[in-house]
A and B are shown apart, each in its own frame.
Chain A
């Protein structure tokens, strides 16, 4: 085991580490259930699974308090769960039910949980970055002391909003962490075909802010690098751009035949770079958790997701007279 890990593990402590593993497994199990329900025709529209990317959500969000905020993406289930959103209500929302987190009006791509500091998933690529800057501005103006972590994918870094938001956050020294989950594909667009630079974090140079590259399959490394950026933001020193290299095991959405990448490449990430498997091994090797404890966590996760599915399936459809509610405040 690497020395730095020993330190990080000691710093974080058993309880939080156990919770991180729980979150990682909960996200994956939740999404596996979502995938199953979609195949059964119980979830409609589309869905964007983050299976394989769980460590970025959990590693980054573990550094935050309930008051700190996030903005999320169309691939946002992981962020949502890690920030503490009620899992049965999420599942009910995905089934479009009245008991859903958004009364069945938002769906997978639009879950926001303001009470938990989640300002929302977003169906617009790079849509969350300027919003994160605005929330960070509120923090400064009202002296609230919270930070905002804005998640986005590699594709978002080619949107104008990305550049404008980084610039504004930099000149105003806003407490924002721009967190790029580089899963190497913007829908079918391979990052190598869509940009001409090795690391997306290099773009930080253009805005005079730090850029950090981290292994996005390593939840503790993600935790470490985000923690540093959060501390910097809380000291009033401004934003950081973090690029976590990761991979979505599934396609962009359920319509995706994944013709743009090889099965060998997928298997390499799945077999050799599974962040959950690696984290379990680390915790076992460091004697933080025992096999039995991990099995117990797995059983708990399975039960929680099964209960969420049952809650969602047994929940009523929204009443049709709610159609025109909530358009205006």
Chain B
């Protein structure tokens, strides 16, 4: 099968969906001739027209509301927020409008929106362009939250997100945009709420999200050399969360590490760890579930410091080993 990048997979998904359904369009800042801050929409305006690829003023507050209003009246907008950090400016429309209009209205109306936005660190963008804010949105009833880690997942999850009749926050990772992988040309859908076992193993379960999936896989390879068999599970969607796949794995391995880039404190890893503890897997656990998230610091500019702020392969190795024999992390 042909290999394309994560960015190309998302662009292809968007293009195919806009062509297939006249209710679908994309709006966002600089997405026209410029192609978006990360080139995700390169060539789309030319191919699909300005009416489908709508470059907006730098007005996150308004464009997120425009997406809500147009979704409520029958469209299926894709909203590109240039960096996930800017979701803070769009938050009112996402949290106070999109997430709850249906519930407040007694079940009438729906808000089918996909908010696509790149998050994560590792590119030296410093504190206002490097955050992982998925826990914010996962906390809000009425929102679905997706974090694809591979080109294949990105394309299939995007279609599922767009076909969903609810607001979906689709967190991309800016370091993954160049990652290549096998992706079918035709459209396909990966259901929201279905985790993927990225690597099978028997000793420890590592639940990792977004870019941490790749670091966990590298750690697993290294650990295998040391005689430790690691199973790597990518939930792919935080809401809905496929806790069953995670629980089944932990019952098999009896140990679990949850790895994520976002600040560990108050992060979504705590939710996953807690769900494991509250599940039938608890009786199988041979060690406490370990969380490994980012340090509670604004992302520093210096790239050595930046690296230090979020889990790296070696940190995952230490965390996995700590579930087998006590190690100071």
Contact = CB atoms under 8 A, between A and B. Distances in A.
Nearest to B239: A328
- CB-CB nearest 8 A-B residue pairs: A130-B65, A134-B69, A164-B62, A326-B107, A102-B106, A131-B69, A103-B106, A329-B165
Given A120-B105, A124-B92, A164-B59, A129 B73 contact: no
A110 interface: yes
Interface string A291-314: 000000000000000000000000
29 contacts: A71-B69, A101-B106, A102-B105, A103-B107, A105-B105, A105-B106, A106-B106, A114-B109, A124-B96, A127-B92, A127-B97, A130-B63, A130-B65, A131-B66, A131-B68, A132-B69, A134-B68, A135-B69, A135-B72, A137-B75, A138-B69, A142-B75, A164-B63, A165-B65, A168-B56, A168-B66, A327-B141, A328-B165, A328-B166
Interface residues of A, number: 44
Nearest to B70: A134
Contacts of B112: 329
Contact of B65 (A69, A120, A161): A161
Interface of A: 69, 71, 100-106, 110-112, 114, 119-120, 122-124, 127, 129-139, 141-142, 160-161, 164-165, 167-168, 171, 325-329
B45 to A, nearest CB: 16
Given A134-B65, A134-B71, A328-B142, A141 B105 contact: no
Contacts of A103: 106-107
Contacts, number: 143
Interface string B41-73: 000000000010000110101111111111111
B312 interface: no
B63 A168 contact: yes
A165 B93 CA distance: 13
A104 B105 CA distance: 9
B96 A106 contact: no
Given A168-B63, A326-B103, 18 more contacts: A71-B69, A102-B106, A102-B108, A114-B72, A120-B105, A124-B96, A127-B96, A131-B93, A131-B97, A134-B65, A136-B69, A137-B70, A138-B75, A139-B73, A160-B61, A328-B102, A328-B142, A329-B110
A327 B69 CA distance: 18
A69 B73 contact: yes
Contacts of A141: 25, 51, 70, 75
A107 B110 CA distance: 19
A131 B109 CA distance: 14
B138 to A, nearest CB: 14
